[in-house]
Amino acid sequence: MDKVFSNKRDIAIFVGPTLLLFFGIVLIPIFVSSYYSLLEWNGVTKPTFIGLDNYVEMFTDSRALNSMKNSLLYAGASVFIQLPISLLLALILASGIKGEGFYRTVYFIPVLLSTVVIAQLWSKIYNADYGMLNTLLTNIGLPHLAQDWLGQRETALAASFIPTLWQYVGYHMLLMYAGAKSVSPELIEAAKIDGASTIRTAFSIVIPLMKPILKVSLVFSVIGALKIFDLIYVLTGGGPFFTTEVPSTLMYTTIFDTYRYGYGSALSVFIILECLLFTVIINKFFKTDY
């Protein structure tokens, strides 16, 4: 093994292509976008260097600030609604209930579906004329609650949360399930012998030992919420009246509808820095000696 790692040529052969892809697909586009963010440019004419003006505009524009607020709300819903549900399901399945494999597969199925398909599915569920949700409300005697869920400013944002939470509950559940299954059965059995209840065992033994996987799920959940695009774009397009708009959809419309490549690049840099910042914060929060 030491001989393998000491052979620099072999290391370069195996690592080189990956590094080239990383630089070409990740780092170089980030640097290019960072440069574009300092320009006033429509993609055709000669660009004009304007320094940090795009960033100043971004943090003083009410539409951009609203999109940032929405992305933080998505992240909050993912952390405080989606992850607890995933953890609960993971703990129940890991306890060895009957049909464990079947339920694990069923919960994971939405993850396998394309996000565009998910958005189209839920747009039909929410449809004001023939949607399943309004039909259900009418059939159970609550027709006064039926409404245009995605077409009203009061309900559009909350309605757009649900498909995202529903789609990735199974993903985080599977990660946490693997973490719960990795806990030594001897520890759980010892706790039961000492008289600990199932809930006490979960909170005192299983969940603390799942911290590494909980950190991974938390990072994935927050970053996924901050950079969400396709579901919102297909489901609402950021409407109505920018109610559901997030930085990624604003970036897309800014670049491809108004041809402001500089301002759109500033938004993309903001998304990258925001994701990095929250990743660092989460890593600091979960910092342990393991």
Q: What is the pLDDT of residues 141-157, one digit of tens each?
A: 999 999 999 999 999 99
In a domain, 1, yes or no: no
pLDDT-derived band at 73 (thresholds 50, 70, 90) equals very high
- Name which of 123-137, 185-199, 218-232 the model is least confident about: 185-199
In a domain, 6, yes or no: no
Range of the domain at 260: 62-285
Average pLDDT for the chain: 91
Helix (H) or strand (E) holding 49: strand 48-49
pTM for the structure as a whole: 0.89
Percent of the chain with pLDDT over 90: 71
| Residues 70, 86: Cα–Cα separation, whole Å | 22
In a domain, 164, yes or no: yes
Domain count, the chain: 1
Give the pLDDT confidence score for residue 289 in this predicted structure: 46
Give the pLDDT confidence score for residue 79 in this predicted structure: 94
Output the CA–CA distances (angstroms, integers) from residue 150 to 63, 158, 175, 189, in the order listed: 19, 9, 31, 49
Q: Is the pLDDT of residue 22 over 90?
A: no
In a domain, 32, yes or no: no
Query: How is residue 124 annotated by DSSP?
Result: H
Q: 142, 173, 158, 135: which is closest to 236 by C-alpha?
A: 158
In a domain, 48, yes or no: no
In a domain, 40, yes or no: no
In a domain, 17, yes or no: no
Q: Is the pLDDT of residue 69 over 60?
A: yes
CATH code of the domain in which 193 resides: 1.10.3720.10
pLDDT-derived band at 242 (thresholds 50, 70, 90) equals very high
Q: Is the pLDDT of residue 39 over 80?
A: yes
Give the pLDDT confidence score for residue 290 in this predicted structure: 46
**Token pair 């963010």 in the structure block, residue:** 37
In a domain, 43, yes or no: no
